C-alpha cells in the first residue's frame, strides 16, 4: 500500500506570494491533518479534515487555509507569504473516524522557503 504523498517536495516563493500544497493520504484513510515544523517552534498543528469537513484548527492566522476533496486528497493554502512561513509542512493521514486520532502516518513533507 502506498504511503502518504506530498507535492511538491520543495518550493521557493517570495514574500507576498501565495502557495498551495497538496497531500494524498493512504488509500482508505479519510482523515488528513497538517502540521508545520520549524526549528524555533517545533511541530505545530494546523488543521484536520475528515470527509471534506474541517474538524479542528490550530492557532494559526487566517492566511492559512485548507480543504479536502471527495477522494480525501487535501490541499493547504498560505496567502500573503511572510519570511516566518518558511518551514517543513507535513501531512498525516489516519483511518480514525471519530473521537480519537488512531495511527497517524506522515508524508515526507513539503519544504517551503520564503525569500
Q: Which of 42, 53, 62, 70 binds other proteins (CB under 8 A)?
A: 42
Q: Measured in whole angstroms, how far is the alpha carbon of residue 80 from the centre of its chain?
A: 17
Binding of residue 102 to other proteins (CB under 8 A)? yes
Q: What is the largest CA-CA distance in the chain?
A: 40
* Through-space distance between the first and last CA atoms of the chain, rounded to whole angstroms: 37
With respect to other proteins, which residue has the nearer C-beta, 49 or 78? 49
Binding site for other proteins (CB under 8 A): 4, 6, 31, 33, 35, 42-43, 45, 48, 55-56, 58, 90, 92, 96, 99-109
Amino acid at each position: 500500500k502506498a504511503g502518504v504523498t506530498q507535492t511538491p517536495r520543495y518550493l521557493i516563493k517570495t514574500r507576498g506570494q501565495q502557495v498551495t500544497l497538496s497531500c494524498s493520504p493512504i488509500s482508505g484513510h479519510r482523515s488528513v491533518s497538517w502540521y508545520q515544523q520549524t526549528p524555533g517552534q517545533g511541530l505545530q498543528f494546523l488543521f484536520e479534515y475528515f470527509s471534506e469537513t474541517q474538524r479542528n484548527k490550530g492557532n494559526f492566522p487566517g492566511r492559512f487555509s485548507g480543504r479536502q476533496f471527495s477522494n480525501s486528497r487535501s490541499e493547504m493554502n498560505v496567502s500573503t507569504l511572510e519570511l516566518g512561513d518558511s518551514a517543513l509542512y507535513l501531512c498525516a493521514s489516519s483511518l480514525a473516524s471519530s473521537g480519537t486520532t488512531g495511527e497517524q502516518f506522515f508524508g515526507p513533507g513539503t519544504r517551503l522557503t520564503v525569500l
